[in-house]
């Protein structure tokens, strides 16, 4: 009703000039977003088989690959932000469930500066009570907007750092002192880390550790997982594209009919 009210009342009252100025930037963004075939096939489906709340409550694993080289930088950021927001909204919906029934769900976001929108600040500050735990990784602090940066240092329970540059080390010194200084962080050896952890809601003193080499797996289920995913959650590409073409054709027919009605000769 809120969306319908905007278009039928508020939008209808705008002048034609303001109408164009308000809509064109959005249409350009959406057009660029949907110009990528992969994205268009994902977001243009009428039915959604990937239900985030069901994934979270059933303890399922969701892996999302967002390659910038294929999708483009802006499209990667937007699609990733949409997925993260969907997970967060599903967590918020748990407000209607008793806390004891909220199944813990763990979200890991690599290169998270690409998805660090203002809404991410809300996720960082509010997700814990809905049993949504968040682990984020990025390369250097200046990649992050100020609000996100402040929220991170104000809310994260555990913090880990590999060797970093002087500017970041000066900021993280406050997190790791008195045990470690900025110069220590700058001179960390490869695979060595400093970290502080929150255990039972109590932040412990920082300590050092070393990341181990994980041996390559001798067995892989990659193809089986992909095949299961395609059969349970996906629609064949040719079917999806055909449905999109049919829907677009219907929209064009409707638009042409409306234009004919608008510019038809007046009745005498």
For 112, residues 6+ apart whose C-beta sits below 8 A from its C-beta are 120, 136, 137, 138
Local mean pLDDT, 10-residue blocks, the chain (268 residues): 70 68 77 85 85 94 92 90 91 91 93 83 84 90 85 87 94 91 95 92 90 88 92 89 85 72 54
**Whole-number pLDDT of residue 266:** 53
Asked whether 189 and 223 are in contact (CB, 8 A), the reply is no
For strand 192-196 and strand 198-199, is the pairing parallel, antiparallel, or unpaired? unpaired
**Whole-number pLDDT of residue 180:** 94
**Whole-number pLDDT of residue 57:** 94
**Whole-number pLDDT of residue 182:** 95
**Whole-number pLDDT of residue 90:** 93
**Whole-number pLDDT of residue 43:** 86
**Whole-number pLDDT of residue 83:** 92
27 vs 150: CA distance, rounded Å: 33
Give the start-to-end residue ranges of the domains of the chain.
1-35, 49-154, 157-211, 226-259
Cis amide linkage into residue 178, ω under 30° from 0: yes
Three-state SS letters, the chain: CHHHHHHHHHHHHCCHHHHHHHHHHHHHHHHHHHCCHHHHHHHCCCCCCCCHHHHHHCCCCCCCCCCHHHHCHHHHHHHHHHHHHHHHHHHHHHHHCCHHHCCCEEEEEECHHHHCCHHHHHHHHHHHHHCEEEEEECCCHHHCCHHHHHHHHHHCCCEEECCCCHHHHHHHHHHHCCCCCHHHHHCCCCCEEEEECEECCEECCCEEEECCCCCCCCCCCHHHHHHHHHHHHCCCHHHHHHHHHHHHHHHHHHHHHHHHHHCCCCCC
**Whole-number pLDDT of residue 84:** 92
**Whole-number pLDDT of residue 192:** 96
**Whole-number pLDDT of residue 24:** 76
């Amino acid at each position: 009703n809120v969306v319908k009210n905007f278009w039928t009342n508020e939008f209808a009252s705008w002048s034609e000039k303001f109408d164009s100025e308000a809509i064109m930037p959005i249409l350009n963004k959406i057009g660029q977003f949907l110009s990528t075939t992969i994205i268009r096939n994902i977001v243009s489906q009428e039915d959604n088989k990937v239900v985030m709340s069901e994934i979270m409550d059933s303890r399922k694993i969701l892996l999302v690959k967002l390659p910038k080289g294929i999708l483009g930088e802006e499209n990667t950021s937007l699609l990733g932000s949409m997925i993260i927001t969907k997970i967060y909204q599903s967590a918020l919906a748990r407000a209607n469930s008793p806390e004891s029934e909220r199944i813990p769900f763990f979200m890991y976001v690599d290169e998270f500066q690409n998805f660090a929108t203002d809404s991410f600040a809300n996720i960082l500050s509010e997700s814990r009570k809905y049993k949504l735990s968040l682990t984020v990784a990025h390369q250097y602090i200046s990649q992050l907007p100020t609000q996100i940066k402040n929220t991170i240092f104000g809310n994260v329970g555990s913090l880990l750092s590999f060797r970093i540059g002087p500017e970041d080390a000066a900021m993280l010194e406050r997190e790791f002192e008195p045990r470690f200084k900025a110069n220590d962080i700058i001179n960390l050896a490869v695979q060595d880390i400093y970290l502080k952890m929150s255990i039972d809601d109590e932040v412990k003193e920082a300590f050092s550790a070393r990341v181990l080499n994980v041996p390559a797996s001798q067995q892989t289920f990659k193809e089986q997982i992909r095949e299961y995913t395609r059969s349970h959650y996906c629609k064949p590409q040719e079917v999806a594209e055909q449905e999109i073409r049919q829907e677009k054709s219907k929209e064009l027919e409707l638009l042409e009919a409306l234009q004919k009605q608008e510019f038809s000769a007046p009745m005498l």
